[in-house]
Structure 1
Amino acid sequence: MSTKIDFTYLSEPDMIAAGVMDAARCVEVCEETFSLLGKGDYLMGGANHNSHGMNIVFPKETKFPNMPVAGPDRRFAAMPGYLGGRFDVCGNKWYGSNHGNIPKGLPRSILTMMLNDKDTGAPLALMSANLLSAARTGAVPGAAAKHLANKNSKTLSVVGCGPINKACFEAIITQLPAIEKVVCLALHQEQADAFADWVRDSHGIAAIGTVDAEAAFRDMDVITLCVSRGKPLTFKDEWIKPGATLLVSGPVQPEDAFLTNCRIVYDHTPLHENYVEDAIASGNKDGYYSSVIGGPLYRLIDAGKLPALKDSTGLGDVVNGVKQGRTSPSDRVIFIACGMSVFDISWGFEVLQTAREKGIGQSLNLWDQPAQG
């Protein structure tokens, strides 16, 4: 029996050639992943198998000269998981993040993804994961749009005009072919206008840029929200029309009146239960809630104003036909996504299969025979 272990290395250009930015296909794979989540055929980190991951967060001060200190979004994170079904593979997304990268011409976060054999632990592939992560982050609300938005939706608002919401837009638009107008909201008019120009040029859809939050919410059919983590956006209940679908991929602060008068669908309720457990363990529940996307909902659950997470709806339940998401065209629906490693695993696995079929990537050798048995 051979003990040789080779694995595939995929650079960012390799990932592009293997279709990592194929938004429509990524939505299909994420929908398949939601189905597996709903059935329970997965594992993530932590004792309850639902942890988002493990972070290294640097201290504000240190006596060690080489130890990094805290800065805007400065951290390392590992996101391990196992996904069943046809994927049947383990993986881990690893990334370092530092807002100080931007002046250096680097992305804020630099990510890699490793896929491993579930039995031996042998590496199957090491891949560049910035585009992988962006694509699956966008495809999650894309899958939600398929199952939650009204099919005749004509107006789409992009709240936050950064690269992640661009990926969200690319995925959502594959599921909503009737969209004929896009409103792009950013802090600065030039950024909003640039996004609107990109929408018109790349998709041929009428688009305008704005810095007026109300204009980006009022009378819109579908709203994708992905704004800066340091600046959660507030919006009013009265701005959201009947039938609207809000797809949340970043921190927001909706009025309580909206959250208590809409249908809420989570990406995966056990993940959010784990966030609450972490908040309790932190000893600073309020502070923890302020740092996570679902915090405003968790506060209302604690206050008895929203159903407990165990009684709430996850998108996997909707995909599998176990629970309803939208019950009528007039429902106002909000979808809350916090990100899970299983989506990186499924999309990474899919891209790896394409790379192998097309002969893309480089084979690297771990060993021919291990030096230690």
Structure 2
Amino acid sequence: MYPNIDFTYLSEPDMIAAGVLDAKRCVEVCEETFSLLGKGDYLMGGANHNSHGLNIVFPKETKFPNMPVAGPDRRFAAMPGYLGGRFDVCGNKWYGSNHANGEKGLPRSILTMMLNDKDTGAPLALMSANLLSAARTGGVPGVAAKHLANKDAKVVSVVGCGPINKACFTAIMTQMGSVKKVVCFDLFLDKAQELASWAAAEYGVEAIGVDDTEAGFRDADVITVAASRLKPLYFKDEWIKEGATILVSGPFNTDESFLTSAKIIYDHTSLQEAYVEDAIASGNKDAYYGGVIGGPFFRLIDAGKLPGLKDSTGLGDVVNGEKAGRENAKERVIFIACGMAVFDISWGFDLLQNAKAKGIGQSLNLWQKPHQG
């Protein structure tokens, strides 16, 4: 009871105990979130309420001895939002990233999540968010697989074999009951083979690891892409079979003929419009496009070769039955996911409810009575 404020702290082991690795449940929560997005019952940052987040990007040089300088994937980001429906809560994911972390035995990114009361701003929970973020990143293409992939898909290809795409693949497999073969592609063959061995043991399917790009794309029914940002990924139109579904969670390039002939479904068109607004504001739109997942599409929209975003389809529209997703078994479908804080909020909220019900976590006190009123 106010003015006393207690909130819940959930460590990574607490998050695991609360169910953060339950991919099937995560897909369900992400689908619920897409429905709310389609209805407009959410807010994110920026004047347009659709900003992905605010980034600190470090300079190449500085005169200040302690100020960080630019490095591979080195940045901080704050990703705030509000989500309505049964969640009805505000939250912010705080994201620090540095590729050099691996030299210290740390993951590239270290993330935390805060949930707050929508009225008072009081903290409700502070939680470890590396696994939460990976799970919801996977849950998004999991929802897309449910609504866009052919149900008789036999071959899944995993392009990029890091932890994020492992989460994507895990979520996708909760929706794909007919898969017989998994192809794992990575520039580092040992990583591809390691994921293939895990997939074979986990799902009882044939699984192979490859380091040839064409082998990672050709003849696959469902392809999940979450490759490294450090080396551009390019695939050819001719490698993508009839009826294939490509679920994109990382940067890529491909033939214009593929992008203009496939059906494109975005995670949320308003988010993509916000990216374009930011690109214009940056003063170098083309360079900005080069740094975002939707860049290849935005260039073609600007050139009049693809429909504008206002005339395009978001997955929330498909979930809510407002627009069509896949319309026949032969069309090739591309789904583009760029990441939205509302998914961290919804999955974090769901896990907080689980933790409370199971008595998981530590209660922390902000104050019993504020020193200043």
With the length of structure 2 as denominator, give the TM-score of the two structures. 0.99
Q: Which position in structure 2 is the counterpart of 1:306?
A: 306
Query: How far apart, in 2, do the equivalents of 1:64 and 1:212 lie?
Result: 45
Q: Compute the displacement of 1:242 (Å).
A: 1.0
1:235-250 equivalences under 5 Å are 235-250=235-250
1:120-139 equivalences under 5 Å are 120-139=120-139
Q: Which position in structure 2 is the counterpart of 1:170?
A: 170
1:12-23 equivalences under 5 Å are 12-23=12-23
Q: Which position in structure 2 is the counterpart of 1:215?
A: 215
Q: Which position in structure 1 is the counterpart of 2:57?
A: 57
Q: Which position in structure 1 is the counterpart of 2:148?
A: 148
Q: CA offsets per residue over residues 39-93 of structure 1, 9 Å max, x none?
A: 0000000000000000001100101111110111111100000000000000000
Q: Which position in structure 1 is the counterpart of 2:85?
A: 85
Query: How far apart, in 1, do the equivalents of 2:28 and 2:346 lie?
Result: 11
Query: How far apart, in 1, do the equivalents of 2:191 and 2:133 lie?
Result: 23
Query: How far apart, in 1, do the equivalents of 2:2 and 2:159 lie?
Result: 54
Query: How far apart, in 1, do the equivalents of 2:235 and 2:139 lie?
Result: 24
Query: How far apart, in 2, do the equivalents of 1:353 and 1:252 lie?
Result: 37
**In structure 1, the residue corresponding to 2:16 is in which secondary structure?**
helix
Q: Which position in structure 1 is the counterpart of 2:344?
A: 344
Counterpart residue identity of residue 352, structure 2: L
Q: Which position in structure 1 is the counterpart of 2:271?
A: 271
Q: CA offsets per residue over residues 216-259 of structure 1, 9 Å max, x none?
A: 21111000000011222111111111110000000010110000
Query: How far apart, in 2, do the equivalents of 1:338 and 1:272 lie?
Result: 8
**In structure 1, the residue corresponding to 2:342 is in which secondary structure?**
helix
Q: Which position in structure 2 is the counterpart of 1:327?
A: 327
**In structure 1, the residue corresponding to 2:47 is in which secondary structure?**
coil
Unaligned runs of 5+ in 2: none
Unaligned runs of 5+ in 1: none
Provide the alpha-carbon RMSD of the alignment: 0.7
Q: Compute the displacement of 1:301 (Å).
A: 0.3
Q: CA offsets per residue over residues 127-174 of structure 1, 9 Å max, x none?
A: 000000000000000000000000110100000010000000100000
| % same residue | 77
Counterpart residue identity of residue 183, structure 2: V
Query: How far apart, in 2, do the equivalents of 1:322 and 1:206 lie?
Result: 38
Query: How far apart, in 2, do the equivalents of 1:232 and 1:333 lie?
Result: 21
- Is 1:35 matched up with 2:35? yes
1:100-111 equivalences under 5 Å are 100-111=100-111
Q: Which position in structure 1 is the counterpart of 2:255?
A: 255
Counterpart residue identity of residue 88, structure 1: D
Number of residue pairs matched by the alignment: 373
Query: How far apart, in 2, do the equivalents of 1:46 and 1:173 lie?
Result: 35
Q: Compute the displacement of 1:214 (Å).
A: 1.1
Query: How far apart, in 1, do the equivalents of 2:217 and 2:193 lie?
Result: 17
Q: Which position in structure 1 is the counterpart of 2:357?
A: 357
Moved more, 197-206 or 3-12: 197-206
Query: How far apart, in 1, do the equivalents of 2:215 and 2:363 lie?
Result: 51
Counterpart residue identity of residue 258, structure 1: F
Q: Which position in structure 1 is the counterpart of 2:190?
A: 190
Counterpart residue identity of residue 96, structure 1: G
- Is 1:47 matched up with 2:47? yes
**In structure 1, the residue corresponding to 2:290 is in which secondary structure?**
helix
Q: Compute the displacement of 1:213 (Å).
A: 1.2
**In structure 1, the residue corresponding to 2:276 is in which secondary structure?**
helix
Q: Compute the displacement of 1:204 (Å).
A: 1.4
Query: How far apart, in 1, do the equivalents of 2:253 and 2:143 lie?
Result: 23
Q: Which position in structure 1 is the counterpart of 2:72?
A: 72
With the length of structure 1 as denominator, give the TM-score of the two structures. 0.99
Query: How far apart, in 1, do the equivalents of 2:188 and 2:361 lie?
Result: 40
Query: How far apart, in 2, do the equivalents of 1:274 and 1:344 lie?
Result: 19
